Amino acid sequence: MASNVYLVRQRFSRMSQRMSAFQINLSPLKEPLGFIKVLEWFASIFAFATCGGFKGKTEIQVSCPSKVGDNNTVTATFGYPFRLNQASFHQPPDVNVCDVKWESHVLIGDYSSSAQFYVTFAVFVFLYCMAALVLYVGYTSLYRDSRKLPMIDFIVTLVATFLWLVSSSAWAKALTDIKIATGHSIIKELEPCQSAGVSCHFGSVTSMGSLNVSVIFGFLNMILWGGNAWFVYKETSLHSPSSTSASHSQGGIPTPSGI
C-alpha cells in the first residue's frame, strides 16, 4: 500500500514539474496538428456568432375591405434562440389595424432546442481549441511524451466530429422550418387573416444569409475535425509503437540488466 502511494506521489511530482515547465514552442502550429486546430478555432467562432447573433422580422400588409385605402403593416420580430411561438405581432403605434389585437397572435414553432444545441456545442469547441493550442504550444514535450493526452485528444476529436454532424444537421432542418414559418405560409396560419373583414398579404422577411453561413460553417467544422482525426491519431500510442516494440521489430535484443 505504501509503495502504491509512493508511486502516485512520484507520478504527480513528475507531472507537476512538467506542467511548471511552460515554454512557448510555435513549431506545432506549422504542423497539420496545430494548424488545423487554429482553423477549427476560427470556424467555431463563425459558427456560433452567425447563428447566435441573428435578429430578424417578418412583415404582413393588412387592409380592411370596409375601409378603402386603409393599409397598414404588422411586424413580428424574432431571433436566437428562435422561439417563434413567443414572437408576437405588433401594429404601428396608436393605430388600430382592422380592430384586431395583433399582440395576441404569434408565429408558429419553437426551434430553440436545435439552435441552442448548435451554439452551445460550438462554444464548447471554441474553448477546447484554446486549451488544446495552449497544450500544443506551451507544453509540447508534455504532450509528445504522454500516452494519455494524445489518446484523450483523439477521442475528443472523434466525438466532436460526430457531434458537428448531428448538430449541423439538426440546425439545418430547423432553419428550413424557420424559413417556412416566417415566410408566405404565415398568412394561412394567422386567424385574423382568415376572416372576411381582414385582407392580408405577405410583405417581407429579413434575409437569413448569415444563418445559411452558420450551417455551412457547421459542416465545415465537421470536415476539419474529421480530417484532423488522422493527425491526432498519429500522435497516439495506437500509431506510434513503443521503444521496446520498435527494437523487437528491428531485430534488436534488449540487454539483460546486470551484464
pLDDT category, 26, cuts 50, 70, 90? confident
- Output the pLDDT for position 259: 34
15: in domain? no
256: in domain? no
Residue 252 has pLDDT above 60, yes or no: no
- DSSP code for 63: E
78: in domain? yes
pTM: 0.80
252: in domain? no
Number of domains observed in the structure of the chain: 1
- Percent of the chain topping pLDDT 70: 82
Of residues 239 and 138, more confidently modeled: 138
Tracing cell 489518446 back to the chain, one arrives at 151
C-alpha cell at 214: 452558420
Angle, CA 31 vertex, CA 28 and CA 36 arms, to 5°: 95
222: in domain? yes
Contact 222, 215 (CB under 8 A): no
Q: Which domain holds residue 64?
A: 26-232
243: in domain? no
- Percent of the chain topping pLDDT 90: 53
Q: In whole angstroms, give the CA distance from residue 190 to residue 67.
A: 20
pLDDT category, 40, cuts 50, 70, 90? very high
Residue 258 has pLDDT above 60, yes or no: no
179: in domain? yes
241: in domain? no
Provide the 10 A C-beta neighbour count for residue 65: 11
Residue 55 has pLDDT above 80, yes or no: yes
- DSSP code for 237: T
Over residues 75-93, mean pLDDT: 92
